[in-house]
Amino acid sequence: MKKTFLIGLLVCFTVSFVRAQVNNPGQVANDAATNQANNDMNNAADKGVNKAEQSIGGLFKKKNKSPKTESSGSAKPAAVQTDNGSSPTSSSDQPLKLYANYDFVPGDQIIFEDHFTGDRDAEFPTHWDLEKGQAILNNFQGTECFYLTDGNYCRVNPLVKSKSYISNPFTVEYDLYNPNNGAYGLMLFFKDADGNDVASIQVSPAEVNYAGTEKNLDANLPEAIQNDNFKDRWHHVAIAYNNRQVKVYVDQFRVLYVPNADALPATVDFGGIGDQSNPIIFKNVRIAAGGSMNMAGQKFTDAKIVTHGINFDVDKATIKPESMGTLNMIVQVMKDNPDIKFDIEGHTDNSGAPAHNLTLSQQRADAVKSQLVSMGISESRLTTKGFGDTKPISDNNTPEGKANNRRVEFVKS
């Protein structure tokens, strides 16, 4: 007990001293030697704090990690913050040029998509089922996110009418946030038609892992997004399955390639080991059929290309970086077919006022044209037109129908 008390006093003194240095920068000497000494002292203090925390059994855990009880009786995790209290960087904040070599193209028929819009905070999302553990929606940075808060493993799965809704090829996408680089990574479980696990893909702060019934493959994340560079940021994860080949992308990088996967998935689960202090956080889930739109080097003869891979910030014409795979494909088609001209058509679902949708779709078509021109396509080969919600290709009464109606079409002119 006396030893624990002394450790506690040491930690309190050390933390107070370090905070004093941070909060009073004017008191820190300007010469390089003193700065180096302060850095060494801060590093030593951090190690001392970590060691003391382990010895005392989590005595110094942050209060905002504690579960908060809602009036409904459901437990809601406290909002996650970055170390400096600022908003973490979204994947959409990264420049499009970082994705210059991105080649992921999502499937052209959306099976399931959920941004949790319309769902209530601190409740379980409407379009999902809970298989194991506990999970809840939590408003984070102004949007609803799925928190896996309890279970070894917690398992949730999309509510899709068909029992075997995945066929070859297919793609899966989601956005993942990790507030702690030691937290357990989100897992995507592949299941067969009988509901048995046949493989899993896990994205953690250090690596991506594929685990099948007979095959287990790992790949380290690039240093730019690994470990400390992984935490306190949103990351876009994209998975493509085509004829047993599996490719896993994290942000602009293709991280893992499985040339011959030992799995034929029929459905998927999302899961992992989460708790109230270290929840697994994700959002913007999309599952789509197709994903083999590799038209490079081919003579283009179709009347149009319908794309669902050019995505925008909500209610804006700002192109998300992960759209670059589809944009790169369009650029290659136009370079391989120099006589082709395209009308770029923007389409929305029927959410919102028709006049607003019409304006938004025109702005988005114009944004796509500007981006293609910046990538070397002559402006004379591109025209734009926004149609709003006037030309649906699916039922606007279902989430997946709305998702299929939100699209950009390239029509030969």
Q: Specify the number of domains making up the chain.
A: 3
Is 76 part of a structural domain of the chain? no
Examine the fold and report which residue of 222, 254, 289 is the final residue of a domain before the chain moves on: 289
Please state, in angstroms and rounded to a whole number, the distance separating the CA atoms of residues 126 and 312.
24
**Residue owning tokens 């624990």:** 4
Is 69 part of a structural domain of the chain? no
Is 82 part of a structural domain of the chain? no
For residue 56, what pLDDT band results from cuts at 50, 70 and 90? very low
* DSSP-derived secondary structure for 52-81: HHHHHTSTT--GGGSEEE-TTS-EEEPPP-
Examine the fold and report which residue of 230, 264, 289 is the final residue of a domain before the chain moves on: 289
Structure tokens at 268: 């998927």
Q: Please tell me which residue, 196 or 84, carries the higher pLDDT value.
A: 196
Residue 203 and residue 254 in one domain: yes
Residue 185 and residue 227 in one domain: yes
Residue 95 and residue 45 in one domain: no
Torsion angles phi and psi, residue 27, rounded to 5: -85, -5
Is 252 part of a structural domain of the chain? yes
Residue 181 and residue 273 in one domain: yes
Nearest to 89 by CA among 230, 226, 233, 228: 233
Please state, in angstroms and rounded to a whole number, the distance separating the CA atoms of residues 261 and 245.
6
pLDDT at 58: 31
Residue 271 and residue 309 in one domain: no
Classify the C-alpha dihedral 381-384-390-393 as positive or negative: positive
Answer whether residue 24 shows pLDDT above 50: no
Whether residue 106 has a cis bond before it, omega within 30° of 0? no
Is 262 part of a structural domain of the chain? yes
Answer whether residue 115 shows pLDDT above 50: yes
Answer whether residue 36 shows pLDDT above 50: no
Burial of residue 137 (number of CB atoms within 10 Å: 0-12, 13-18, 19+):
buried
Buried b (16+ CB within 10 A) or exposed e, 328-338: bbbbbbbeeee
Please state, in angstroms and rounded to a whole number, the distance separating the CA atoms of residues 360 and 66.
41
Chain segment 264-306, per-residue pLDDT in tens: 899 999 999 989 989 999 999 999 998 755 555 566 778 899 9
Structure tokens at 142: 């102004």
Q: How far, in Å, are 70, 107, 169, 170, 312 from residue 287 at the CA level?
A: 32, 8, 11, 7, 17
Residue 252 and residue 135 in one domain: yes
Examine the fold and report which residue of 60, 76, 105 is the final residue of a domain before the chain moves on: 60
Is 196 part of a structural domain of the chain? yes
Residue 244 and residue 325 in one domain: no
Residue 170 and residue 234 in one domain: yes
Residue 162 and residue 258 in one domain: yes
Chain segment 119-128, per-residue pLDDT in tens: 999 999 999 9
pLDDT at 184: 85
Range of the domain at 280: 91-289
Is 364 part of a structural domain of the chain? yes
* Helical (H) or strand (E) element with 327: helix 324-336
Residue 322 and residue 284 in one domain: no
pLDDT at 311: 95
| CATH number of the domain encompassing residue 144 | 2.60.120.200
Chain segment 189-247, per-residue pLDDT in tens: 999 999 999 999 999 999 999 999 999 999 999 999 999 999 999 999 999 999 999 99
Q: How far, in Å, are 109, 195, 217 from residue 164 at the CA level?
A: 15, 9, 26
For residue 77, what pLDDT band results from cuts at 50, 70 and 90? low
Residue 324 and residue 404 in one domain: yes
Least confident of 15-24, 139-148, 383-392: 15-24
Is 148 part of a structural domain of the chain? yes
Q: What percent of the chain has pLDDT over 90?
A: 67
**Residue owning tokens 């984070």:** 140
* DSSP-derived secondary structure for 274-285: --SSS-EEEEEE
Please state, in angstroms and rounded to a whole number, the distance separating the CA atoms of residues 346 and 198.
39
Residue 182 and residue 328 in one domain: no
Nearest to 201 by CA among 214, 219, 189, 185: 189
CA angle 396, 402, 406 (to 5 degrees): 130
pLDDT at 300: 77
Chain segment 304-357, per-residue pLDDT in tens: 999 999 999 989 999 999 999 999 999 999 999 999 999 999 999 999 999 999
Average pLDDT of the residues in 168-191: 92
